[in-house]
Amino acid sequence: MPDSQVLQADVIVVGSGPGGASVARELTKNGKKVLLLERGIDQRSRSYYGTYLGAILYSDRGSLLFSQEGLNIVRPLLVGGATSMYCGCASPPPTWLKEKYGVDIDAEVAETIDELEIAPLPPGLRGVASTRIARAAQALGYNWQAQPKFMKPTRAQKFDCGAKCMLGCRCGAKWNAAEWVDEAVAAGADLRTRARVERVLIEDGHAVGVSGRLEGRPFTARAGTVILSAGGIGTPRILQASGLKQAGQGMTMDVTVMVYGFIKEAGIGKEPPMTWSWEDPEVGYMLSTLLDPWLLYPLINVLKGPQYLLTWPRWGNILGVMIKLKDSISGGVFPNGKISKPLTDYDRPRLKMAEEVCRKILVEAGAKPETIFMTPLRGTHPSGTVRIGEMLDTNLQTEIAGLYACDASTFPEALDRPTVLTILGLGKRLARHLINQ
Ligand SMILES: Cc1cc2nc3c(=O)[nH]c(=O)nc-3n(C[C@H](O)[C@H](O)[C@H](O)COP(=O)(O)OP(=O)(O)OC[C@H]3O[C@@H](n4cnc5c(N)ncnc54)[C@H](O)[C@@H]3O)c2cc1C
């Protein structure tokens, strides 16, 4: 048995979330020999997939990853990346991506919407309590809309979507980037799991491969093109280890909190997450219907104070509105392994404004004002760590020839909306750029 394995390809793609899956699938289908390296494994057939145990097993640090400031970061590490635990929401890319940064992915996004039949859930599946929140918001003049989803109820044997759907989809309704990995593999891509890439190999200013550990043993892979799609935390870490020190300085997160209020009737916990939403582009935040899964609820809210544990028995009666804030670039992902994501003086008052709007909506929807509270901060969109316009050109190439990033790390500012559709558009566009080269 050799000490070190050496693999070879035309293109190496690191990470199999939406960024890696989309670029690998497109390149493979167009005849490129692609090596797809994924740190995690394919968990979809495991009995614990989509359970609380599963979420602990396949999230970084058992879902207990925190920034230095105490912000809880959910970072799934498995085939399909964070789409294995996402809420299945789809939003088009912000117009500023094209207008301000010159990145036009309109055609790729339109194609993806058609291909995956992205649309809101039918009215009857949007949830009675969720719809009650949306109607209350509309009555107050906020134009909430049904949220387009990467979900097709007809794909499920029994559509059974609730807050627990964030642990991993067990009913099969929700699209996952792992499906595009399957398609890439069927078209000839070489997928290696338990392959943790540590650094990019660079010779004469050109990327020539990567090195790391494959199933615990050192390995090297060589290719003329390397695409890092290891996510908003993984990609800057690999770049730092490869000598690109600017990576990871500053980050965005779409910092998230929930505002909860209690009613007598059934709440939103057993309804699909995020079926309705609304954006305030002026202030810079998005609101949507959402509640933590039953067992995560006390774990998160005990961080706010032990008295909040007392609300757990009433989980079934909660109306929840999630705030996603368009946060400033701050903190970063550091070579010592630490992550920092402080709110800035610009962020805090805007979060407060969003909270006030949530409180009004919940009261209008029937929640008693004294029951309403805001949860601790968390982050599910680590991003903006290898930004377009600073570290990347409009084709997502770094200063190193042949070295690209294609994932949430590339966002030049906080997206403040579901990220996946934008990332899929970036992946398709990068693949086409490379094929045309
Ligand atoms: C709970 C939750 C709900 C969400 N809901 C939504 C939603 O409804 N809609 C939406 O659009 N977005 C949602 N998101 C966000 C979205 O899922 C992510 O922003 C998106 O998946 C990021 O894609 P990515 O390709 O950048 O990275 P990821 O999806 O994070 O994939 C990166 C992959 O790289 C692998 N990797 C990391 N380091 C290495 C390494 N060194 N070597 C090899 N492999 C490595 C990881 O294991 C992972 O599989 C949600 C996220 C979470 C956590």
Question: What pLDDT, in 10s, does the model give residues 75-117?
Answer: 999 999 999 999 999 999 999 999 999 999 999 999 999 999 9
378 Cβ closer than 6 Å to some ligand 1 atom: no
Atom of ligand 1 nearest to the CA of 422: 11
Q: How far is the CA of 265 from the centre of ligand 1 (A)?
A: 35
Expressed in angstroms, the distance from the first to the final Cα of the chain is 38
247 touches 347 (CB < 8 A): no
381 Cβ closer than 6 Å to some ligand 1 atom: yes
- Of the pLDDT bands very low, low, confident and very high (cuts 50, 70, 90), residue 2 is low
Span 343-394, pLDDT tens digits: 999 999 999 999 999 999 999 999 999 999 999 999 999 999 999 999 999 9
Beta bridge partners of 269: none
pTM: 0.98
Span 21-38, pLDDT tens digits: 999 999 999 999 999 999
Span 234-271, pLDDT tens digits: 999 999 999 999 999 999 999 999 999 999 999 999 99
* pLDDT of residue 310 exceeding 90: yes
Span 128-170, pLDDT tens digits: 999 999 999 999 999 999 999 999 999 998 999 999 999 999 9
Check residue 1 and give its pLDDT. Answer: 42
DSSP state of 377: P
Provide the b/e sequence for 29-41 (b: ≥16 CB within 10 Å): beebebbbbbbbe
Atom of ligand 1 nearest to the CA of 421: 11
For 5-120+149-158+166-251+382-436, CATH gives 3.50.50.60
Strand-strand pairing, 403-405 and 225-228: parallel
* Residue of 296, 381, 422 with the most ligand 1 atoms within 8 Å of its CB, for mutation: 381
Span 160-207, pLDDT tens digits: 999 999 999 999 999 999 999 999 999 999 999 999 999 999 999 999
Taken in order 352, 412, 174, 123, the sign of the CA dihedral is: positive
Check residue 314 and give its pLDDT. Answer: 97
Q: How far is the CA of 233 from the centre of ligand 1 (A)?
A: 10
Domain ranges of the chain: 5-120+149-158+166-251+382-436, 256-379
Span 317-331, pLDDT tens digits: 999 999 999 999 999
Check residue 423 and give its pLDDT. Answer: 98
215 touches 222 (CB < 8 A): no
71 touches 379 (CB < 8 A): yes
Atom of ligand 1 nearest to the CA of 235: 38
197 Cβ closer than 6 Å to some ligand 1 atom: yes
419 Cβ closer than 6 Å to some ligand 1 atom: yes
Average pLDDT over residues 333-342: 97
166 Cβ closer than 6 Å to some ligand 1 atom: yes
In angstroms, the CA 363 to CA 209 distance is 57
The crossing angle, in degrees rounded to 10, of helices 178-186 and 18-29 is 20
81 Cβ closer than 6 Å to some ligand 1 atom: yes
